[in-house]
């Protein structure tokens, strides 16, 4: 279905506001449920990192019993994994900016667990035990589960090292994987990686910016919606469909604030997945130290007109000892479609040295 691809960016920037939201039943759990190193240690995972035997069905990876990831691939050559943003906004077609590299790479695009056509492990929660529900959600759909899936995909593909290309929230997930498994990363491309390295965020997140750009007549409705959206106290009374609907509503407000956002097709957004990520992040963390001891080459890209500031994107460049940084002119958050030729040129030079 045709939707505005810019919706993907709203979730990644607003997570800080959600993570510090005013729900009452998690006040004492201010730390993150995920720490870099947890996946490597096998902590809080639903299954081992070694994936099961793969089904004969095309376009499906079985990463653990009962969890199927939908994917498609384009190109020929060395495998590279494309990690979409959101959280929970999968891509349904190849990126224009990667098509010129398809003679050298085979790009694998997949729907992260909990969104698109991949498995959604929860519909509703019958239990009234908030803590147990929180732990189950984190274990099945949180940061650790998403990072573990990348390692399982690498093993399914049968390569010692893999090139990762992460956009927005996907860039953040790629960076976490690289922190846990640096010896398995060939090269890392981060496209406007999400501002999640440190929480709480200094800039307050996206909600105030959206509200400021809304017509005056829409602001009271937006405030009421945010109160519902951030109400973690009653989150387990919701269903998967309820949460998908809430994310759609959030996107509509965003479009009112930014009516000139680019369009592209995207898959069905996540529901519980998004809240699993929120809970994993917690209210306070600093993941930067875990990412510093890496030797693989890193390319970090920023759109010249992105709503995310260049300073925010440069946080990643300041961490990696072997990083390149580039600004792609005439683009916002989706440079691989907005200026695909320049995007392709910069990425090709980085990956192939030409």
Residue 256 scores a pLDDT above 90 = no
How far is Cα 351 from Cα 104, in angstroms, rounded to an integer? 10
- Predicted local confidence at residue 126, as pLDDT: 93
Long-range CB contacts (< 8 A, 24+ apart) of 102-105?
A: 102/74, 102/75, 102/76, 102/77, 103/75, 103/76, 103/77, 104/75, 104/77, 104/78, 104/351, 104/352, 105/75, 105/77, 105/78, 105/79, 105/80, 105/163, 105/351
Overall residue count recorded for the chain in this entry: 354
72-118 pLDDT, tens digit per residue, is: 999 999 999 999 998 999 999 999 999 999 999 999 999 999 999 99
Determine the Cα–Cα distance for residues 187 and 299; give it in Å rounded to an integer: 8
The sign of the dihedral angle between the CA atoms of 23, 27, 30, 35 is negative
Q: Are 124 and 98 in contact (CB under 8 A)?
A: no
* CATH of the domain spanning 2-352: 3.40.50.1820
Say how far apart CA 187 and CA 170 lie, in whole Å: 15
Quick one: pLDDT band at residue 283, thresholds 50, 70, 90?
A: confident
- Joined together, the tokens standing for residue 82 give 């494309």
Mean pLDDT of 221-242: 92
- Mean pLDDT on 237-244: 96
CB 43 within 8 A of CB 145: no
My answer on whether omega of the bond before 200 falls inside 30° of 0, hence cis, is yes
Whose structure tokens read 């992040």?
281
Joined tokens for residue 94: 């190849």
CA distances to 10, 13, 56, 67, 113 from 308, rounded to whole Å, are: 10, 8, 42, 33, 26
Q: From the CA atom positions of the chain, what is the Rg in Å?
A: 19
What pLDDT, in 10s, does the model give residues 11-20? 444 443 343 3
Closest CA to 185 of 320, 12, 41, 342: 320
Listed in sequence order, the residues at least 6 apart from 254 whose beta carbon sits closer than 8 Å to its beta carbon are 6, 7, 9, 10, 210, 261
Contact 324, 298 (CB under 8 A): yes
91 forms bridges with which residues in the sheet?
266
DSSP symbols for 243-285: HHHHHHHHHHHHHHH-TT--EEEB-PPPSHHHHHHHHHH-S-E
The confidence score (pLDDT) of residue 96 equals: 95
Q: pLDDT class for 252, splitting at 50, 70, 90? A: confident
Domain boundaries, the chain: 2-352
Least confident of 51-55, 113-117, 210-214, 260-264: 260-264
Angstrom CA distances, 134 to 5, 232, 274, 277, 332, stand at: 29, 11, 13, 11, 35
Cα 244 to Cα 92, 215, 271, distances in angstroms: 18, 25, 4
């Amino acid at each position: 279905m045709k939707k505005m691809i810019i919706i993907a960016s709203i979730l990644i920037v607003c997570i800080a506001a959600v993570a510090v939201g005013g729900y009452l039943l998690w006040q004492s759990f201010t730390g993150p449920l995920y720490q870099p190193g947890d996946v490597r240690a096998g902590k809080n995972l639903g299954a081992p990192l070694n994936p099961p035997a793969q089904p004969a069905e095309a376009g499906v990876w079985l990463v653990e019993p009962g969890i199927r990831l939908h994917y498609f691939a384009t190109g020929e050559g060395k495998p590279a994994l494309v990690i979409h943003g959101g959280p929970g906004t999968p891509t349904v077609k190849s990126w224009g900016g990667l098509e010129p590299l398809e003679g050298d790479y085979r790009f694998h695009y997949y729907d992260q667990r909990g969104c698109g056509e991949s498995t959604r492990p929860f519909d509703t929660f019958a239990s009234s035990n908030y803590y147990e529900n929180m732990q189950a959600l984190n274990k099945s759909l949180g940061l650790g589960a998403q990072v573990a899936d990348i390692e399982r995909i690498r093993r399914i593909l049968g390569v010692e090292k893999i090139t990762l290309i992460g956009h927005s929230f996907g860039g953040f997930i790629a960076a976490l994987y690289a922190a846990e498994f640096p010896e398995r990363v060939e090269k890392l491309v981060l496209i406007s990686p999400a501002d999640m390295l440190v929480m709480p965020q200094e800039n307050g997140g996206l909600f105030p910016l959206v509200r400021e750009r809304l017509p005056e007549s829409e602001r009271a409705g937006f405030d009421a919606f945010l109160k519902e959206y951030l109400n973690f106290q009653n989150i387990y009374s919701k269903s998967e469909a309820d949460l998908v609907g809430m994310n759609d509503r959030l996107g509509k407000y965003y479009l009112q604030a930014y009516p000139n956002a680019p369009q592209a097709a995207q898959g069905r957004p996540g529901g519980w997945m998004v809240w699993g990520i929120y809970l994993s992040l917690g209210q306070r963390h600093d993941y930067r130290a875990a990412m510093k001891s890496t030797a693989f080459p890193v390319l970090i890209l920023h759109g010249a007109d992105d709503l995310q500031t260049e300073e925010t994107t440069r946080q990643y460049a300041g961490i990696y000892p072997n990083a390149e940084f580039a600004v792609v002119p005439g683009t916002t958050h989706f440079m691989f479609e907005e200026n695909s030729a320049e995007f392709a040129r910069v990425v090709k030079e980085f990956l192939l040295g030409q």
